[in-house]
């Protein structure tokens, strides 16, 4: 097992998140059973007072969960030089059976944590805590995933042995290989480009419509989620090729290297932030009918829509610039 400051920090974050969620889940269960804002009972008063403390604690730990995804990927990339056969984070994540499942679970928890934080932000603006049941029900759904993350991440870290020979990204992200990564690497460039920019048009149209008709929040959220999936697929299928100027190099992790100006961070950060905002807009759209939130919801919806469109716009502008400046020609 390797011990580095980043791995220790990641383990501490996972311990804190899972521990805090376990503690908060007991409060959440009690609140879901007994919360009654119209009641003046002693129990209701205690619940109202404790929800401030619990929500503040959860805000910190779920914020740390957001950062842990970035730290996890950065750590995997920085460790690539310590393993035979690893050229980038792909090889490090492929050292044992727990690397990629941990990454995928962290991505799922990133979006769930972001949605909880958005719910909490809006709930605290209503005088009667109108979303308190929703956010604590979501918390109970997040809790087992956080525990699973702790187990998977621990198993992955324990299996990081320098003497293990791993495989490079070329064996995984190859059109001749097997699995989902190989299928994405083999996606023909022309259809991939059409899907990539077609989603941009759908996203812009749905965002403009949502700005005027808030009832379309669910549609905007669905398109945002689909745009995220298509964007990741496009990075593997063709965008990475333009960056590397190599028609056979499909790895989405080598983009994080200094040799490519860390362009991967500039692509992924706005993409993840925009997707979270788009999903949040869909989640909060029905809340516009709640009496105590009618004043704040129009501004919140415009803010989330603006963040989503700005983030996706930054991603698409950079992706297009990378394609145009490349010396590689994939389409005649």
> How many CA atoms lie within 13 Å of 164's alpha carbon, on the beta-carbon side?
18
pLDDT digits (tens, 9 = 90+) for 167-178: 777 667 766 666
> What local confidence, expressed as pLDDT, does residue 240 receive?
92
Mean pLDDT score of the chain: 89
Q: Domain spans of the chain?
A: 1-167, 169-332
Residue with tokens 């187990």: 151
> What local confidence, expressed as pLDDT, does residue 21 receive?
94
Question: Chain-centre distance of CA 142, in angstroms?
Answer: 14
Predicted confidence band of residue 105 (pLDDT cuts 50, 70, 90): very high
Three-state SS string across the chain, please? CCCCHHHHHHHHHHHHHHHHHHHHHHHHHHHHHHCCCCCCCHHHHHHHHHHHHHHHHHHHHHHHHHHHHHHHHHHHHHCHHHCCCCCCHHHHHCCCCCHHHHHHHHHHHHHHHHHHHHHHHHHCCCCCCCCHHHHHHHHHHHHHHHHHHHHHHHHHHHCCCCCCCCCCHHHHCCCCCCCHHHHHHCCCHHHHHHHHHHHHHHHHHHHHHHHHCHHHHHHHHHHHHHHHHHHHHHHHHHHHHHHHCCCCCCCCCHHHCHHHCCHHHHHHHHHHHHHHHHHHHHHHHHHHHCHHHCCCHHHHHHHHHHHHHHHHHHHHHHHHHHHHHCCCCCCC
pLDDT digits (tens, 9 = 90+) for 1-36: 567 888 899 999 999 999 999 999 999 999 988 888
> What local confidence, expressed as pLDDT, does residue 244 receive?
92
pTM: 0.94
> What local confidence, expressed as pLDDT, does residue 232 receive?
96
> What local confidence, expressed as pLDDT, does residue 127 receive?
82
Number of residues assigned to the chain: 332
CATH, domain 169-332, list 2.40.50, 3.40.50, 3.40.720, 1.20.120: 1.20.120
> What local confidence, expressed as pLDDT, does residue 294 receive?
86
């Amino acid at each position: 097992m390797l011990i580095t400051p980043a791995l220790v920090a990641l383990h501490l974050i996972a311990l804190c998140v899972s521990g805090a969620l376990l503690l908060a889940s007991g409060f959440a269960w009690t609140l879901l059973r007994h919360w009654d804002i119209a009641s003046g009972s002693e129990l209701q008063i205690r619940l109202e007072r404790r929800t401030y403390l619990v929500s503040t604690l959860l805000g910190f730990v779920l914020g740390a969960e957001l950062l842990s995804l970035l730290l996890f990927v950065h750590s995997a990339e920085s460790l690539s030089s310590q393993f035979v056969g690893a050229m980038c984070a792909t090889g490090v994540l492929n050292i044992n059976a727990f690397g990629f499942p941990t990454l995928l679970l962290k991505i799922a928890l990133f979006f769930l944590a972001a949605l909880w934080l958005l719910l909490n932000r809006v709930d605290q603006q209503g005088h009667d805590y109108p979303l308190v049941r929703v956010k604590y029900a979501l918390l109970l759904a997040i809790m087992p995933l956080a525990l699973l993350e702790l187990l998977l991440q621990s198993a992955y870290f324990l299996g990081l042995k320098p003497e293990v020979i791993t495989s490079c990204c070329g064996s995984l992200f190859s059109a001749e290989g097997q699995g989902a990564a190989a299928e994405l690497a083999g996606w023909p460039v022309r259809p991939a480009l059409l899907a990539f920019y077609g989603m941009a048009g759908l996203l812009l149209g749905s965002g403009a419509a949502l700005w005027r008709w808030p009832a379309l929040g669910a549609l905007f959220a669905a398109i945002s989620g689909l745009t995220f999936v298509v964007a990741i697929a496009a990075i593997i299928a063709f965008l990475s090729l333009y960056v590397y100027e190599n028609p056979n190099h499909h790895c989405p992790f080598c983009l994080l290297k200094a040799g490519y100006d860390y362009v991967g961070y500039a692509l992924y950060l706005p993409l993840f932030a925009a997707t979270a905002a788009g999903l949040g807009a869909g989640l909060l759209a029905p809340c516009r009918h709640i009496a105590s939130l009618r004043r704040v919801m129009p501004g919140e919806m415009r803010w989330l829509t603006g963040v989503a469109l700005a983030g996706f716009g930054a991603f698409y502008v950079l992706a297009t610039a990378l394609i145009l400046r490349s010396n590689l020609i994939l389409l005649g």
